[in-house]
Amino acid sequence: MSDRPGRGHSGTPRRIPEATVARLPLYYRALVDIAEHRISTVSSERLAELAGVNAAKVRKDLSYLGSYGTRGVGYDVEFLLHQISRELGLTRDWPVAIVGVGNLGQALANYKGFGARGFRIAALVDADDDKVGREVDGLAIEPIRALPEIVAERQISIGMIATPAHVAQEVADLLVAAGVRSILNFAPAVVAVPDGVSMRKVDLAIELQILSFYQLRKGGPARRRDRAATGAMDVEEGLEQGLDGLHQGMAG
């Protein structure tokens, strides 16, 4: 915050569209790569290429953050990295709790890719007493009934639900009651959360079904091994992914 270069007359530069927010992490990742190559400036064209989007979109997206580019030159990599990172809150520490330490929960707990962006697994919680006490990657599994204290003491802000689907809503309710305001749900279930709590979901089965839908309309039902199959359904590039699921109740 502090000094707001560019167009910050008032408090917030402008509202950042949802679609833009979803792309900022892509730019961030691309910029990290660029920075590692000791490159100091980057054009929207190049950034677009690395992020896999359109150059105009990159410029428009970045313009929501402020006028951070230099005409005729491009964007300063370090500076932009800092701005995006601040905007996304990556300069902070985000303690995460994983609820349900089964197959998926363990994989998540073992995953090393979180720390870099400030997301830190701070708690593993399960309802199975046989699992409680066991350690995963140096972190002990704790009983679900301890959730309120855990969330409060460790300032947990994000909860991941990796339990069976039929208890997902119940778990979400517990997380919310404990004070968690952001939830990432991996269970294939519709989970409702009150206003003020964000919920996003990752649903494997849906992704696969979308893929099969389109595959069905490509080479025809009877799979042929030939590649010049000439699908009857010609969808041009640029179709956006997903849109599935709700992002509920962002209010404070």
Ligand X SMILES: NC(=O)c1ccc[n+]([C@@H]2O[C@H](COP(=O)([O-])OP(=O)(O)OC[C@H]3O[C@@H](n4cnc5c(N)ncnc54)[C@H](O)[C@@H]3O)[C@@H](O)[C@H]2O)c1
Q: Which residues sit at the interface with DNA, rule CB under 7 A?
A: 7, 17-20, 42-45, 53-57, 59-60, 62-63, 67-75, 238, 240, 243
Q: Binding of its own copies at residue 32 (CB under 8 A)?
A: no
Distances (CA, A) of 143 to 132, 146, 168: 6, 6, 16
DSSP conformation class of 199:
E
CA 196 to each of CA 56, 145, 176, 221: distance values in angstroms, whole numbers, following the listed order? 33, 23, 10, 45
Question: Which residues, 6+ apart, have CB-to-CB distance to 85 below 8 Å?
Answer: 28, 91
Residues of this chain, 106-125, that bind ligand X according to CB under 6 A:
107-108, 111, 113
Among 123, 186, 199, 201, binds ligand X (CB under 6 A): 186
Under rule CB under 8 A, residue 71 binds its own copies = no
CB of 85 to ligand X, least distance (A): 19
Q: 113: buried, middle or exposed (CB in 10 Å: 19+, 13-18, 0-12)?
A: exposed
Q: To the nearest whole angstrom, how small is the minimum distance from the Cβ of residue 46 to ligand X?
A: 23
Number of residues in contact with its own copies, rule: CB under 8 A? 102
Verify binding: residue 158, its own copies, rule CB under 8 A.
yes
Query: Residue 214 to residues 188, 217, 227, 236: CA-CA distances in angstroms?
Result: 21, 5, 16, 13
100 binds, among ligand X, its own copies, DNA, none (CB under 5 to 8 A by kind): ligand X
Neighbours of 67 (CB within 10 A): 13
| Footprint of ligand X (CB under 6 A) | 99-105, 107-108, 111, 113, 126-128, 131, 144, 162-165, 167, 170-171, 186-188, 204
